[in-house]
Structure 1
Amino acid sequence: MKSLGSIRRSFEPWNDPDQRPYIAFENITKKFGDFVAVKDLTLHIYQKEFFALLGGSGCGKSTLLRMLAGFENPTDGQILLDGENMAGVPPYKRPVNMMFQSYALFPHMSVEKNIAFGLKQDGMAKSEIEDRVSDMLKLVKLDQFGKRKPHQLSGGQRQRVALARSIAKRPKVLLLDEPLGALDKKLREETQFELMDLQQDLGLTFLVVTHDQEEAMTMADRIAVMDLGRIVQIGTPVETYEAPKSEFVASFIGDINLFRGEVTGISDGVADIETADGMHIRSETAQPLQAGQKVSFAIRPEKLRVSRIKPEGGINAASGEVWDIGYLGDMTVFHVKLGNGEIVKASLLNAVRTVEDPIGYDEEIWVCFNTDGGVVLGS
């Protein structure tokens, strides 16, 4: 069976018509005065799903999270959680908990007391609190740090305390607002996998808000890309990356090269496209295109090859000059200036330590790609 890319787990209740959404945003609109933060948005999230809301600042993703938590009320529409309408239900009575970007730990309390705080507020028995706190500390691998204060912990450890406190009350849904933003790159990458494992171990539904595309693609089962209060695409990380439905999604998630042109022919799911500067592109596509239609062709840098030798046929190839070279360790990125002045990016995996006669600055080279390397986007 052919797939767009790797499959993390065989979990896709959204494709099962018999599955009922666990969280349902139905025609939600949220206005702040004249400003519309969320516009007639409908979104369904399923039980035990790790779902990400991805978008830039001001796109409405945090507003959506706060409405589910009960900190904001929708102007129009309704929010259902496990079939129950959340209208009028105060935040403290909702079966959700929220982990904030700032962590919001009490600086004068020990780690144990921070985790126990919500349990005490709920009137849980002291012995049960002690057992629950002990379990949470072991879960986040901080069982040796219970007596410490937050200022005695690293950023990653404080993040784990906040996470332990969030799940100590065993909510049905955990909401995470930019949860890893305060961590350095290496720790953030490590914590992403820890969150994935923890979510599956607990069997909870996670809804994370982030502007970090790599974070969303690493952790989430599905991603909703948002722009100007609307969802512009929902899909698995692979679908969103490999099959964007618009130039916005293609550009927002990862690096992309865009070529604009006109369809000159289409046959058996393969389109021929001519760009304004005479480049001939041939691409597989499922879109119902017509000759003469204006389209864009989007292709990722890693799908491009670079060569000093002109490929045979001249299809899916363009010549240019090496403008910049970036060595990133695992890969090398070439910026190639084409004849029309446009810059394209091509990334080459550094699979070996040494390279004979490497391509250098100012060289005239060819960039080329396969017919299944990119995606055609309608105008």
Structure 2
Amino acid sequence: MASLGSTRRSFAPWTDPNAKAYIRFDNVTKRFGDSVVVDNLSLTIYEREFFALLGASGCGKTTLLRMLGGFETPTSGRILLDGQDLAGVPPYRRPVNMMFQSYALFPHMTVEKNIAFGLKQEGMPKAEIAERVRQMLKLVKLEAYADRKPHQLSGGQRQRVALARSLAKRPKVLLLDEPLGALDKKLREETQFELMDLQQDLGLTFIVVTHDQEEAMTMADRIAIMDQGRVMQVATPAEIYEAPVSRFVADFVGSINLLEGTLLEAGRSGARIRDVSGAEFGVTDAGEGQVGQTVWLAVRPEKVRVTRQRPADVRNALEGEVWDIAYLGDMTVYNVKLDDGRLIKASSINSVRAVEDALTWHDRAWVSFAEDAGVVLVR
């Protein structure tokens, strides 16, 4: 049997033109009074996909999730699940379950009874409930905590109880609203991988709402970046990071250096950009840029080198002063202030314990990057 990692690497139905969308938002708009929260949004999600809605607070991602769950009604547009229009279908009739950010556990009930609650509401026979609860407790590794109440559990354990309760009814789609927000950093990182493995084991479709970029990049097969009720880009984590389609996406995900300039020439052999200071850069691909157009060259900090002397083998180089240094253990981040006042961020992996003649504050330095290091953006 293939490993879960192999399964994830080979899973890409969005690249198949014949693949059928499992969930479809068709021109969906949601208004609250005069406020447009979701703005004529269209989106497709595939069966067994781990999909993330990523954006700042108020961008409409939770509202989108709640409309799919049936807790909100679209002002206009359609939402389809496995070909069925969900208009008028109440939440309890949808093959969807939602795990809320607050977990919403019943404080007076034991772990076992919390997990069993939804099954009892559906009238499932007692023997079947007991077996299903046993399966869920084993799945989330909480067999020894069945008789405890929520206040006797850690944050991570409560999160697992809420997850088990959400999965007990065996929904086709699980909706997770900021599911790891209450956990500390180390537990959050561990739980991310547990959720990924669980999703693969169960063969369900997971849709997670988060404002945590690292969380989305770690767990999701694809990410939709949202802003003001609209989808700005939908792509895999690697594509979002390495090939953003706009300055907004580039700036929202990770750190970025944006160098504004004019596209001087573009062709098969590469392109040239003159930035606002008059410096010229070579790039391998002009993207959608047209000659004479204002463009922005987006370069990630880890693709920028910082050296005392100008590298002889690199065309793209700018001189400045080391303005700030952040030592993060595994890497060091430098902010270099150029002579025209702009700041360029560079990050360097600390692969050895000590560095001879290390750069420090106020040293003169050069920042440089390869011609294939950046992406040319026009919007």
TM value normalised by structure 1? 0.96
1:146-295 alignment, distance < 5 Å: 146-268=146-268, 270-285=270-285, 287-295=287-295
Distance in 2 (alpha carbons) for counterparts of 1:124 and 1:270: 66
CA 1:361–1:8 in 2, change beyond 3 Å: closer, same or farther? farther
- 3-state SS of 2:348 partner: strand
Match of 1:130 in 2: 130
**Kept in 2: contact 1:335–1:345 (CA 8 A):** yes
Tell me if the contact between 1:280 and 1:317 (Cα under 8 Å) persists in the aligned partners: no
1:48 aligns to what?
48
CA distance in 1: counterparts of 2:331 and 2:91, whole angstroms? 47
Which has the larger displacement, 347-356 or 86-95?
347-356
CA distance in 1, matches of 2:102, 2:355: 46
Question: For 2:102, what is the secondary structure of its paired residue?
Answer: coil
Is 355-364 or 160-169 further displaced after alignment? 355-364
Contact 2:303 2:369 (C-alpha < 8 Å) held by counterparts: yes
Residue 290 of structure 1: how far off its partner (Å) = 2.8
Kindly provide the amino acid, as one letter, of the partner of residue 45 in structure 1: I
- Residue 315 (structure 1) shift: 2.3
Alpha-carbon distance in 1 for matches of 2:9, 2:153: 34
- Mapping 1:1-379, distance limit 5 Å: 9-268=9-268, 270-285=270-285, 287-312=287-312, 315-379=315-379
The separation in 2 between residues aligned to 1:347 and 1:193, in whole angstroms, is 26
Distance 1:269 1:99 in 2: 51
1:281 and 1:315 in contact (8 A); partners too: yes
Contact 2:288 2:378 in 1 (8 A): no
Which amino acid is the alignment partner of residue 329 of structure 1? G
Asked whether the equivalents of residues 14 and 46 of structure 1 are also in contact (C-alpha less than 8 Å), the reply is yes
Q: Which runs of 5+ in 1 are unaligned?
A: 1-5
Inter-partner Cα distance in structure 1 for 2:237 and 2:310 = 34
Q: What count of residue pairs does the alignment treat as equivalent?
A: 374
Report the AA paired with residue 72 of structure 2: E
1:280·1:314 contact (CA, 8 Å) conserved in 2?
no
1:3 matched residue in structure 2: none
Cα distance, 1:82 vs structure 2: 0.7
Q: Determine if contact 1:320/1:338 at 8 Å carries over to the other structure.
A: yes
Q: Are the structure 2 counterparts of residues 137 and 286 from structure 1 closer, same or farther at C-alpha, using a change threshold of 3 Å? A: farther
Q: Distance in 1 between matches of 2:322 and 2:288?
A: 36
Which amino acid letter does the alignment assign opposite residue 285 of structure 2?
T
1:43-95 alpha-carbon deviations (Å, 9 max, x no partner)? 00000000000111111111100000000000111110011110000001100
Contact 2:271–2:286 (Cα < 8 Å) also in 1: no
Structure 1 consecutive aligned stretches of length 4 or more whose deviation exceeds 6 Å: none
Matched residue SS, 2:132: helix
Letter in 1 for 2:321: E
- Deviation, 1:8, is 5.1
> Secondary structure of the residue that 1:195 maps to in structure 2?
helix
Q: Does the CA contact (< 8 Å) of 2:288 and 2:377 recur in 1?
A: no
- Identical residues among aligned pairs (%): 67
Measure, in 1, the Cα distance between the counterparts of 2:249 and 2:105: 36
- For 2:313 and 2:101, locate their aligned partners in 1 and report how far apart those are by CA, in whole Å: 53
State the TM-score, normalized to the length of structure 2: 0.96
Judge conservation of contact 2:120–2:129 (CA < 8 Å) in 1: yes
Question: Which amino acid letter does the alignment assign opposite residue 65 of structure 2?
Answer: L
Give the superposition deviation at 1:312. Answer: 2.4
State the shift of 1:267 in Å. 2.3
* Alignment CA distance shift 1:114-1:94 (3 Å): same
Given that 1:60 and 1:228 are in contact with CA atoms closer than 8 Å, whether structure 2 keeps it comes out as yes
